[in-house]
Structure 1
Amino acid sequence: MEPVHGPGSAGSHGVSPRRPSPAVYRRRRRLAAAVLALLIVALLVAGVVMVIGLFSANDGDPAAAGAVATTAAPPAAPSAADGASAEPPPSASEPEPTAADEASEPECDPAEIAVEARTDAPAYPPGQEPVLSLVVRNESETACAVNVGTSQMEFVVADPADRIFSSTDCQQAPQDLERVLEPGAEEVATLEWARTRTTPGCASVEPVPEGGTFVLTTRLGGLTSGTTSFMLDG
C-alpha cells in the first residue's frame, strides 16, 4: 500500500520556499540604518535638554553651577602608613634670642668669673682723657649668665694717698643688664674719665688732680679686680 501524503506534507514533488532577492536585502539595510540614525539624534536632543534643565535649576547662577562641577573632598591627612611626618612644617624663619632667653641660662659661679681693670694707654699728656675699662671674663667650661649692668659696676681712681674718683658717686638711674658669657668670653665696659675729682653723694670738690701716678680698680657686684697703674702728665 502506498503511503498517503496529507496536506502540507513534503513530497518528492513539493515546491521549495523562495529566498528574498538582493534588492530586498538592500532595502532592509537602508531602513535599519535610517532607524539607527533617528535614535542617535533623539539621544543627543535628550542630552541637550538635561544640560539646559541643570542650568535652569540653578537660576542661571554660574557660581552655583560651578560649585557642582568643582566641589571635591579635602585631601586626607597623611597617615603613618603613607610615611608622612606628623610634625608641623618648620617656620620660615626662627625668632631672635631675647633677654628672657638669655636669663634662662644658669647664673655664673662668682669663683669662675674674672674681673680685670685696664687703661687704653700707660701714660697721658696734658688734656688727654684716659679711657678706663672693666673686663668680665667667664673662666668656666659652660655658658652662664652674669649681670653686667651699671647697677653692679664701679670704676675707682686713686693716688697713693687719696681716693680721687668713683663712677658711683654721681651715678644716675643705674640699671641691670643680664649677659650670657660663653666659656672664655669677655664683656668689656669702658668709661672716659674727665680727670675730675668726686666724692660720695656727688658733692662739689676741688682741686682737679695734678699730674702723677694713679691706680685704677674696677668692681662688678662682689668681685673686685686688681689694680692697674697709669700716669697723668700735669
Structure 2
Amino acid sequence: MDPDSMRGDGGDVYWRRRMSVLVAVLVVVAVVAWACSSGGSGPGRTSSAQSSPSPTPSVDPLLAGLRTLALGTASPSPTPTATTTPTPTAEQKQPGQPCAEDDLVLSLQIGKEQIYAGDARPTFLVTLVNTGPVMCTADVGPRAMEIRITSGADRIWSNADCVSGSGTEVEELQRGVPHVRSVEWDRRRSSADCRATSATALPGTYVATARMGELRSGKGVFHLR
C-alpha cells in the first residue's frame, strides 16, 4: 500500500477499523469467559448447598424433656437436711427410779400339783418383770407384793397379814429380767388383826392371786383334800 494513502482521511478510516476489530476480539473473549464462569457457579446456578438449604429438623417435646431430665436440670436434687439428736428432757426415765406400774407385769403360777391332800402345802411362784426402757426399783416385800387366797367371797389367807418388821424389800429390776419369788401356804387361815390361834382351812376349792398396787395376776385355782 502506498504510504501516502494512509495520510489524511484514509488514515483515520484505517485506524477506526483496527480499533473496531480489537474491540470485537475483547467482546468475544469476555463472552467466552462469562460463559465458562456461568456453567460452574453463576448467578443462574447456585450450589446445591446454597439453592436448597438443609431443612432444620423439628424437636420432639418428649425427647427434649427426657434429655433435660437425663441432664439433671428438670428438678434439682433436694438438699438433705441435717438431723439433730433430741436433747434429753426431765420427763425421760432415768435408771434407778421407782418402777411405773405400767412397766410392770405380775404373774402367779401354782406348783406342779393342783390337788393337795393330807398335809401337803400349796406353793406358788410369783414373777415380776420390768418392761420399761431402763432399770428401775420396786418394793417386792410382803406388804407391797401380796399373795391372797380366797374361797368364793371368803378371804382365807394373805402373806401381808401379821408381818414382822417393816415388810419392805426394794429390788432393782433390770429390763426383761424376771424377779421370781416362791411362797408356801401352811393351809391355815390368817387375818389382819393377827389372832393368836388360826384355824386350818377346810377341804375345798381355792383361788390364789398376786396383787401389787393396782396390778393383778391371773387366778390360780387349786384344791385341798
Shorter-chain TM range is: 0.5 to 0.7
1:150–1:174: 8 Å Cα contact kept in structure 2?
A: no
Residue 126 (structure 2) aligns with = 134
Alpha carbon RMSD of aligned pairs, Å?
Answer: 2.2
Equivalent residues in 2 for 1:144-159, closer than 5 Å: 144-159=136-151
Report % sequence identity. Answer: 27
User: Post-superposition shift, 1:106?
Assistant: 2.2
1:157–1:166: 8 Å Cα contact kept in structure 2?
A: yes
2-structure distance, mates of 1:210, 1:193: 14
User: For 2:102, what is the secondary structure of its paired residue?
Assistant: helix
Per-residue CA deviations over 1:90-121 (Å, capped at 9, x if unaligned) read xxxxxxxxxxxxx9612222101011122213
Larger radius of gyration: 2
2:95–2:134: 8 Å Cα contact kept in structure 1?
A: no
Equivalent residues in 2 for 1:1-234, closer than 5 Å: 105-121=96-112, 122-204=114-196, 207-233=199-225
2-structure distance, mates of 1:142, 1:184: 10
1:159–1:214: 8 Å Cα contact kept in structure 2?
A: yes
User: Post-superposition shift, 1:173?
Assistant: 1.0
User: Post-superposition shift, 1:201?
Assistant: 1.0
2-structure distance, mates of 1:185, 1:203: 38
TM-score, normalised via structure 1 length:
0.50
User: Post-superposition shift, 1:171?
Assistant: 1.4
Runs (4+) of structure 1 moved beyond 3 Å?
204-207
User: For 2:97, what is the secondary structure of its paired residue?
Assistant: coil
Gaps of 5+ in 1: 1-102
Gaps of 5+ in 2: 1-93
Residue 38 (structure 2) aligns with = none
1-structure distance, mates of 2:108, 2:143: 18
TM-score, normalised via structure 2 length:
0.52
1:135–1:187: 8 Å Cα contact kept in structure 2?
A: yes
How many pairs were matched up?
A: 131
Residue 36 (structure 1) aligns with = none
1:198–1:205: 8 Å Cα contact kept in structure 2?
A: no
Per-residue CA deviations over 1:132-170 (Å, capped at 9, x if unaligned) read 232211122332222222331211111124111111222
